[in-house]
Amino acid sequence: MPKVDDVYRAALKQAAQHEIEGSDVRYLLMVAEGFSSPADVIYYRDREMKNPDLFDKWMKERIEGRPVQYITHYASFLLHNLYVDERVLIPRPETEFLVSEITERISDYFDPRNLLMVADIGTGSGAIARALSTFFPKWIIFASDISKGALEVARKNLEGTHVELLEGDTLEPFIKKGLKLDILVANPPYVLSKEEAEPIVRDNEPDRALYFQDSNNVYEKIFKDIHEVKKGPMFLAFEIGPGIEEMLISCMNKYLGKHTYEIVKDNLGLSRYLFVDLE
């Protein structure tokens, strides 16, 4: 069997010819060889390859333009290893930051050790709900999506948790069930145009998860119906994209009543998160 290092170096050369990042090569090698981190590719470089054929097959798929997470059906999110496929968005580091911000901010609103009613709208792979259920085991979490396929993936990733899955448009399933919430989290589709997305994203990830549409403005739908699911003061946390701030502010003023909000920017100065304190 060839050594890990020989396969790695040859694959890096091949990747460079196709403008593929070295990090993708390490990712595929990590999963193919059962390593626990991409750095293990260097650490165990003198080992013989266990699965060279699988790695070759995966490299071909990556060269054909498939993201490594869909090829391996593996994505990591905070402490979790998630199953992913083309039915869901690949969970992003930005969304890990959203969850971290929630854990840091929540004590300003509630005692996080209490039984709190929480919604993750547009759960996709279930990443946010999965992480929150680990960090806050007492929370009663509902994760919803409009896509049946996404809910099938979320079900796999939420096995062993108490998260309840709901199918439907935005708050409709919550209103139907008469659920009243303390916290609402959402990472809705917010990319303004297909041209904005990188080709590997545009060609592989679901349109319904990515692109903002006037006819499916998930933020507006949430603000419009929020009073139907509100128990008392509420904390709302959203991932957002640049270019929609004005729309968000005007929708909040139109529908929310008494509230304060904060828009948090990333280190490039782009608006990336919205936190709302709803009285």
Ligand X SMILES: C[S@@+](CC[C@H](N)C(=O)[O-])C[C@H]1O[C@@H](n2cnc3c(N)ncnc32)[C@H](O)[C@@H]1O
CB of 126 to ligand X, least distance (A): 8
Angle (CA) 123-127-131 rounded to 5° is: 120
Please report which helix (H) or strand (E) contains residue 236, including its range.
strand 230-239
**Beta carbon of residue 6, minimum distance to ligand X (angstroms, whole number):** 36
CB of 1 to ligand X, least distance (A): 37
Among 32, 82, 182, 189, binds ligand X (CB under 6 A): 189
Q: Segment near ligand X (CB under 6 A), from 99-107, 119-127, 195-203, 266-274? A: 119-127
Instruction: Kindly compute the dihedral angle of the four CA atoms of residues 177, 279, 261, 223, in this order, to the nearest 10 degrees.
Output: 30
Residue 244: how many other CB atoms lie within 10 Å: 19
Kindly tell me which of 80 and 259 has the beta carbon lying closer to ligand X. Answer: 80
Shortest distance, position 123 Cβ to ligand X, whole Å: 5
- Measured between alpha carbons, how far is residue 178 from residues 128, 181, 229, 231 in Å? 23, 10, 7, 11
CB–CB of 125/157 below 8 Å?
yes
Helices (H), the chain: 4-17, 22-33, 40-43, 52-63, 68-72, 93-105, 127-135, 148-157, 172-177, 199-202, 207-210, 218-229, 245-255
User: Residues 6 or more apart from 190 whose CB is under 8 A from it?
Assistant: 212, 239, 240, 241, 244
For residues 207-226, which are near ligand X according to CB under 6 A? 208-209, 216, 218
127 binds ligand X (CB under 6 A): yes
How many residues at the interface with ligand X, by CB under 6 A? 25
Q: Which stretch binds ligand X (CB under 6 A): 10-18, 43-51, 182-190, 227-235?
A: 182-190
Site string for ligand X, 45-64 (x = CB under 6 A): --------------------
Q: How far is the CB of 76 from ligand X (least distance, A)?
A: 12
Is residue 173 a contact point for ligand X (CB under 6 A)?
A: no
Residue 106 engages ligand X in binding (rule: CB under 6 A):
no
> Among 49, 117, 170, 222, which residue sits at the site for ligand X (rule: CB under 6 A)?
170
